[in-house]
Structures are given as structure tokens and as C-alpha cells.
Amino acid sequence: MKKGLIGLALLAGGLVTSLPATAGTFTLGHTWLLEIGNVKGKIPFPICRNAKGFKIEAQRDLKLDRVKVRFRNGEEKTYNYYRDVKKDKDTGARLFGYERCIKHIEVSGNSEGTRAGVKVIGID
């Protein structure tokens, strides 16, 4: 009887662990892009945030140029976009390849109006 229960428990545990994991998202931060000038939206983190990637969501129409990400080890990576992002749309995910600790994000671009909110979304 005990062997049957142990076997059933192992089978059930194997089924649970074999289910595919879905990627979760969370907000890394918000910033603003202005209509004129080369003012970059900066999002510093006092404590680094772990993520496997990110995507940019526009809260108004904007022209996104690039996103620079600085990691805990001092390495910086620049992602070029050079495209328009419509209101309430996102850029799609940019993955790092593995989970990294982010210390700073800098968003460059211009808004279509006086200013546009930008939401940076992290990917687990």
C-alpha cells in the first residue's frame, strides 16, 4: 500500500514539474520623453533588479531611438529601435540571454506631443 502511494506521489510531482513555465512581466519603471531636445529619460535603481529582458510600452505616441541598459557588473548594452511606437503599444521583448541584474535604464527618443510617458516592463 505504501509503495503505491509513494509511486502515485512521484508521478503527480513529475506531472507538475513538467508543465511549461510562462514568462511573467513586471514594471521596471516609468519615465518621460519630451517633444524637443535630447533629454533622455533615466530610470536608476538603488538596488539592482533581476530580469531576463525588457520591453518598452508607450503611454502616448512617440519616436523611440534607443535604450541603454547598465548592469551590476558595469557592462552597458545599447538597443537601437529608431521607430514610432503608438499609444498603448509595446516594442516587443528584447532578451538578454539569461537573467541579469539591472542598475540603470536610459531611454532616448522624442514624443509626438509635449511629452510622452514611457513604461519599461521587465520579463522574468
What does the chain come to in residues? Answer: 124
pLDDT at 20 over 80: no
Domain ranges of the chain: 25-123
pTM: 0.75
The predicted model gives 71-91 an average pLDDT of 94
21 has pLDDT over 80 = no
The two most distant CA atoms of the chain are separated, in Å, by: 75
CA–CA dist 46, 58 (Å, integer): 24
* pLDDT cut 90: percent of the chain above it: 65
Which of these CATH numbers, 3.30.390.30, 2.30.38.10, 2.60.120.1380, 1.20.1090.10, describes 25-123?
A: 2.60.120.1380
